[in-house]
């Protein structure tokens, strides 16, 4: 176990949106060694090695990791912030335990954008996924709100190569096993 404990040091309204809460926690252990491993497995993580910082978003909030601090934001209450801190602690420790099977990435990765995903979608705006456009579906994929099977057109034989490419592009995300 790399991270044994954390202590909430600040809870307050977000400066970006007063409806959101931001929670800061000091860490009992230095987590800098796990950051390159998290950079390798967390979808759309933005790692800045020069300052030992990793930022990413998941459905339930935004997370910023530093060697001795975690900040979570875009949550609606302190309780949700604590749940997110617990999730991140588990993610850190699970990743640390599996580090021998992960190739760490020590440099900043290019963030996947909705436009990158849209390039491989059918672009029919058929609404079969429940969204008004393929671009909206691409955004929902990035946010984890939709999955590739939610686009029925991608299951057609003519889109096999695009579906496989999207699978590779999106597989940099946190696996469901780690997220549980």
> What is the second-level CATH architecture of the domain 114-179?
Orthogonal Bundle (1.10)
Assess whether pLDDT exceeds 50 at residue 149: yes
176 has pLDDT over 70: no
Q: How confident is the model at residue 177 (pLDDT cuts 50, 70, 90)?
A: very low
61: left (phi over 0), alpha (psi -120 to 50) or beta: left
SS3 18: coil
Is a pLDDT exceeding 90 seen at residue 69? Answer: yes
**What tens digit of pLDDT does each residue of 72-120 get?**
988 889 999 999 999 999 999 999 999 999 999 999 877 778 888 898 9
The answer to pTM > 0.85 is no
DSSP string, 114-160: HHHHHTTS------TTSSSSHHHHHHHHHHTS--GGG-GGGGSGGGH
Mean pLDDT along residues 145-161 = 91
pLDDT at 37: 97
Nearest to 75 by CA among 97, 59, 60: 60
Give per-residue pLDDT as tens, 84-94.
Answer: 999 999 999 99
Q: What is the CA radius of gyration of the chain?
A: 18
Say what the pLDDT of residue 172 is.
44
* pLDDT tops 80 at residue 31: yes
Q: Report the percent of the chain where pLDDT is more than 70.
A: 93
pLDDT at residue 146 in the model: 87
pLDDT at 166: 86
Domain definitions of the chain by residue range: 6-101, 114-179
Give φ, ψ of 42 to 5 degrees: -90, 125
Cα–Cα distance for residue pair 160/139, rounded to 1 Å? 21
Which pLDDT does position 97 carry in this prediction? Answer: 98
Token couple for 120? 């491989």
Determine the CATH number of domain 6-101.
3.30.310.10
């Amino acid at each position: 176990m790399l991270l044994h404990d954390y202590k909430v040091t600040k809870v307050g309204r977000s400066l970006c949106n007063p409806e959101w809460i931001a929670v800061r926690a000091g860490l009992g252990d230095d987590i800098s060694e796990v950051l390159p491993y998290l950079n390798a497995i967390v979808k759309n993580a933005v790692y800045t090695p020069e300052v030992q910082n990793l930022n990413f978003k998941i459905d339930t909030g935004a997370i910023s990791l530093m060697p001795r601090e975690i900040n979570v934001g875009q949550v609606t209450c302190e309780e949700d912030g604590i749940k997110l801190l617990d999730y991140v602690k588990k993610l850190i420790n699970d990743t640390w335990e599996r580090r021998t099977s992960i190739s760490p990435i020590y440099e900043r990765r290019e963030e996947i954008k909705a436009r990158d995903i849209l390039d491989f979608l059918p672009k029919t705006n058929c609404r079969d996924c429940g969204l008004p456009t393929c671009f909206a579906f691409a955004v929902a994929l990035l946010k984890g709100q939709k999955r590739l099977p939610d686009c029925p057109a991608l299951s057609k034989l003519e889109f096999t190569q695009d579906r496989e490419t999207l699978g590779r592009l999106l597989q940099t995300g946190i696996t469901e096993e780690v997220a549980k």
